[in-house]
Chains A and B, each alone.
Chain A
């Protein structure tokens, strides 16, 4: 782990199944996340991903990269362009700071409309930097 390190991008196909499965797995039954007709009545063109699913995907992206020992400490995200079915979200990340075995990673998830999510993840990877004794 070192500041400036870039994480391999992760492509997430935004399927209807992912949106609905994520909403239900997070116990979020707001109609805009599963009913296209009701989503349209609220001004959206289709169902869209809920924030809990986005949050989970951002966490997964970082732990996928740092491996089985990685432990999430903080996840802070802000949403922008919605994730609608048929789009693809590409997650990218950069390590911003490293303090011992803990890193702060800046994550951006962009889709065809713009940035769906921007945020930072604080992750600890025990034994990641054994030689680092600042």
Chain B
């Protein structure tokens, strides 16, 4: 499956590219006007003693441009459905991690304390699927125009990589890990020195699912990143896990429906002890009730293990656990928006 996983037509990429040109934020407003305390905190943190940033005629450090548009802990008020949808699609596909890679700013005029900032952001570019050393994912570029009283005050182009973290394999030679891409730095995003300090025995793999005639269709679906529910062709009852016959009517005929992926945690356990080979406790295992009504077991990701709760909304995604194994996982939806980008 590894090969088809890498080389499959990039259907997700095609869906993502439809977002190009759509707004990511419309008439966003800075949470605070440009102000001296935030400027001072910034200058203190960065050790910036430029005299233009203090005193009665102070300007804000131009590189603070993005700061005035940040959502902070309470999130982004101006963000559009399109952008949330784009991020949600990536989360559901297992691209749950994000790293900023590029920032390009222009400063046509200085910002001064008292300036009220507004901004509009457009999704400028979405790359095809890229394999980087961090993992496989997509680069998203946004362009934000910042205004004060309707006048242009700055342009901010920002690129992030939203990706599925690569499995940690300390033994693999560096050359094999080199992805076709991740920008030019001589060495790169990965903690090389740390890797060298970790000549640990190769990590045990997760146990393989037991695939048989009765459930092969389910795992075939997972390999294609589709979550398939069995349906009785006699009475239409959905069932999971996969079984040879219908629990409701005993019928032996069946077909499948693809799950929407939406669900909620019906129940869960957190595994602390004993550690089993291939697992990294503590982790949460949930019984998720899918929107279609059937329940399915899987890991809950995207939220700390101790924040999983009954009723937590989740969305199914897929995680490539190692070279041969992809598993369905459930991404907690409450964590999806808690990230600045």
Return chain B residues, CB-CB under 8 Å to A77: 102-104
Task: Determine whether the beta carbon of B193 is less than 8 Å from that of A112.
Answer: yes
Q: B339 interface residue, CB < 8 Å from A?
A: yes
Task: Determine whether the beta carbon of A114 is less than 8 Å from that of B48.
Answer: no
A positions within 8 Å CB-CB of B = 18, 21-22, 24-30, 38, 41-45, 50-53, 55-60, 63-64, 68, 70-82, 84, 112-116, 118
Tier of interface size on chain B: 35 or more
CB B67 to nearest CB in A, in angstroms, measures 5
Q: B253 interface residue, CB < 8 Å from A?
A: no
**Which of B41, B166, B188, B194 lies in contact with A114, CB distance below 8 A?**
B188
CB B115 to nearest CB in A, in angstroms, measures 16
Return chain A residues, CB-CB under 8 Å to B70: 26-28
Task: Determine whether the beta carbon of A75 is less than 8 Å from that of B105.
Answer: yes
Nearest neighbor of A12 in chain B, beta-carbon distance: B47
Task: Determine whether the beta carbon of A53 is less than 8 Å from that of B105.
Answer: no
8 closest pairs, A vs B, by CB? Answer: A80-B185, A114-B187, A21-B45, A59-B63, A27-B70, A76-B104, A51-B100, A115-B185
Given the interface pairs A45-B191, A75-B62, A80-B183, the reply to whether A18 lies near B45 with Cβ below 8 Å is yes
Task: Determine whether the beta carbon of B193 is less than 8 Å from that of A113.
Answer: yes
Other A-B pairs beyond A25-B44, A59-B61, 17, CB < 8 Å: A22-B45, A25-B67, A27-B71, A42-B97, A43-B165, A52-B67, A55-B63, A56-B42, A68-B51, A73-B107, A75-B105, A78-B102, A80-B183, A81-B189, A113-B188, A113-B190, A115-B187
CB B92 to nearest CB in A, in angstroms, measures 18
Given the interface pairs A57-B46, A80-B183, A113-B188, the reply to whether A25 lies near B103 with Cβ below 8 Å is no
CB A71 to nearest CB in B, in angstroms, measures 8
Task: Determine whether the beta carbon of B42 is less than 8 Å from that of A74.
Answer: no
Sampled A-B contacts (20; CB under 8 Å): A18-B45, A21-B45, A22-B46, A43-B135, A50-B100, A55-B63, A59-B48, A60-B50, A68-B51, A71-B62, A74-B105, A78-B184, A79-B100, A79-B185, A79-B189, A81-B188, A82-B191, A84-B191, A113-B190, A114-B188
